[in-house]
C-alpha cells in the first residue's frame, strides 16, 4: 500500500492507471475509520481494479464554532486498517496544497442544501461539494462510494456529479450500525459513557416512526410530534431537527404516500449525531 501526500503524484498515478485500462474505485473520508468506512472499502475493492482512500479533514466544511480542531485523528491506526482492506493508495493531501493562499473557487448545490443539515450547518455542503469535486479531479475515479448515514451528502454529491458532468458513478452504501443499532460515526468518539444510552434515541426514534407508519399512521406531523416527545425523555439530548421529507428533493411532506425519508439530527453532549431511514409501504 502506498501513502501519497502530493496532489501531482496522485493525479499522475491515476492517469497511468486509466491508460492501462484500470477501473479506479475511490472512498473519500476524513479518517478515524470505523466499520462503516471499512464496508465502503470492501465494496470499492470489489468494484475497482485499484482502490484509493483519501483521508483529509476538510477545514472548509466546518463552521467556525464546529469541531474541526478536535475532530478525531489517528493516522497510524487508519493506515493499518486500510492495508488490511487491501487499499492500493491512501491519499493524504496537505491542507496548504488543497487550499493555497488566494484559493477562491467553490461548488454550490443550491436547493438540496436548503434542508436538514444545510439549515443548521450553513456552508457545510458547499465545503463538502468543493472538496469532493477537487478530489474527483485529482483521483479521477470510475466509482466513488459514500455511506447513506449521510444521506443528504450522498444526494448533494449525486446532484453535483449530474449537473457538472463528472464522469463518475456514485454508489451509496447502507449505514453500518453497532449491535444495539447506533449508527457508526467517528463522532461517536465524543460520547461519554453515561451519554451512550441517549445516543441510541436516534435509532429508537427511527424504529418508532417505522412502527407508527406500518400500523397506519401516515400523518408526518403526528409522527414527528411523537418522536420529538420521545427524544426529550432522554437526558443530554438537544434536538436539531426531526424531518419527514421527500427522499429526492428533501422537501418536508405532510402526508406520507408511498415513500418518505425520516431524518434526524440530535446533539448528545458534545456529539452532533445524525441518522435516517426510508419509510416505505411494503408491497
DSSP character string of 118-165: HHHSTTHHHHHHHHHHHHHHHH--SEEEEEGGGHHHHHHHHHHHHHTT
Interface region with ligand PAF, contact rule CB under 6 A, candidates 22-30, 70-78, 86-94, 109-117: 22-30
Q: To 10 degrees, the CA torsion angle through 25, 30, 31, 36?
A: -60
Least distance between ligand PAF and beta carbon 152 (Å): 11
**Cα–Cα distance measured from residue 254 to residue 244, given in angstroms and rounded to the nearest whole number:** 8
Residue 282, judged by CB atoms within 10 A of its CB (0-12, 13-18, 19+), counts as exposed
Of residues 54-113, those binding ligand PAF (CB under 6 A) = 58, 61
Least distance between ligand PAF and beta carbon 251 (Å): 23
Binding ligand PAF (rule: CB under 6 A), the pick from 25, 50, 131, 244 is 131
- b/e 130-160 (16+ beta carbons within 10 angstroms → b): bbbbbbbebbbbbbbbbbbbbbbbbbbbbbb
Is residue 175 close enough to count as binding ligand PAF by CB under 6 A?
Answer: no
Binding ligand PAF (rule: CB under 6 A), the pick from 10, 24, 25, 28 is 28
Least distance between ligand PAF and beta carbon 160 (Å): 11
Of residues 240-279, those binding ligand PAF (CB under 6 A) = none
Interface region with ligand PAF, contact rule CB under 6 A, candidates 38-46, 106-114, 127-135, 159-167: 127-135
Least distance between ligand PAF and beta carbon 271 (Å): 15
**Cα–Cα distance measured from residue 238 to residue 278, given in angstroms and rounded to the nearest whole number:** 23
**Cα–Cα distance measured from residue 248 to residue 202, given in angstroms and rounded to the nearest whole number:** 22
Least distance between ligand PAF and beta carbon 111 (Å): 19
Least distance between ligand PAF and beta carbon 124 (Å): 9
Interface region with ligand PAF, contact rule CB under 6 A, candidates 27-35, 64-72, 111-119, 167-175: 27-35
The C-alpha cell of 162 is what?
449530474
Instruction: Tell me how far CA of residue 95 lies from CA of 2, 73, 98, 147, 268, in angstroms.
Output: 19, 15, 5, 24, 30
Backbone dihedral region for residue 145 (phi beyond 0: left; psi -120 to 50: alpha; all else: beta):
beta
Q: How far is CA 190 from the centre of its chain?
A: 17
Q: Which is nearer to ligand PAF, 14 or 29 (CB)?
A: 29
37 noted as active-site residue: yes
Binding ligand PAF (rule: CB under 6 A), the pick from 25, 30, 227, 274 is 30
Q: Which is nearer to ligand PAF, 73 or 259 (CB)?
A: 73
Q: Which of 34, 37, 115, 124 is catalytic?
A: 37
Among residues 173, 138, 209, the alpha carbon closest in space to that of 45 is found at 173
Is residue 150 close enough to count as binding ligand PAF by CB under 6 A?
Answer: yes
Number of residues that bind ligand PAF (CB under 6 A): 10
Q: By the criterion CB under 6 A, which residues form the site for ligand PAF?
A: 28-30, 58, 61, 128, 131-132, 150, 153
- Residues catalogued as catalytic: 37
Amino acid at each position: 500500500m502506498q501513502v501519497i501526500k502530493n496532489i501531482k503524484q496522485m493525479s499522475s498515478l491515476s492517469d497511468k492507471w486509466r491508460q492501462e485500462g484500470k477501473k479506479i474505485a475511490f472512498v473519500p473520508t476524513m479518517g478515524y475509520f470505523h466499520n462503516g468506512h471499512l464496508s465502503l472499502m470492501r465494496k470499492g475493492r470489489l468494484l475497482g481494479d485499484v482502490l484509493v482512500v483519501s483521508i483529509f479533514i476538510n477545514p472548509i466544511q466546518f463552521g467556525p464554532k464546529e469541531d474541526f480542531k478536535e475532530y478525531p485523528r489517528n493516522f497510524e491506526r487508519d493506515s493499518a486498517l486500510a492495508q488490511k482492506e487491501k487499499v492500493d493508495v491512501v491519499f493524504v493531501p496537505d491542507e496548504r496544497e488543497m487550499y493555497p493562499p488566494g484559493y477562491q473557487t467553490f461548488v454550490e448545490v443550491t436547493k438540496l442544501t436548503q434542508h436538514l443539515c444545510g439549515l443548521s450547518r450553513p456552508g457545510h455542503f458547499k465545503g463538502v461539494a468543493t472538496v469532493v469535486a477537487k478530489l474527483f479531479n485529482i483521483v479521477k475515479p470510475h466509482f466513488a462510494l459514500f455511506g447513506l448515514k449521510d444521506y443528504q451528502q450522498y444526494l448533494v454529491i449525486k446532484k453535483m456529479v449530474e449537473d457538472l458532468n463528472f464522469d463518475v458513478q456514485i454508489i451509496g452504501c447502507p449505514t453500518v450500525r453497532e449491535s444495539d443499532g447506533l449508527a457508526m460515526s467517528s463522532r461517536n468518539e465524543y460520547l461519554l459513557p453515561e451519554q451512550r444510552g441517549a445516543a441510541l434515541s436516534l435509532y429508537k426514534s427511527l424504529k418508532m416512526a417505522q412502527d407508527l407508519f406500518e400500523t397506519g399512521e401516515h400523518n408526518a406531523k403526528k409522527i414527528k410530534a411523537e418522536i420529538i416527545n420521545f427524544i426529550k425523555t432522554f437526558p443530554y439530548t438537544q434536538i436539531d431537527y426531526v424531518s419527514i421529507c421527500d427522499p429526492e428533493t428533501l422537501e418536508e411532506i405532510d402526508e406520507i404516500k408511498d415513500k418518505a425519508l425520516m431524518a434526524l439530527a440530535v446533539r448528545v453532549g458534545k456529539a452532533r449525531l445524525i441518522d435516517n431511514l426510508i419509510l416505505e409501504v411494503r408491497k
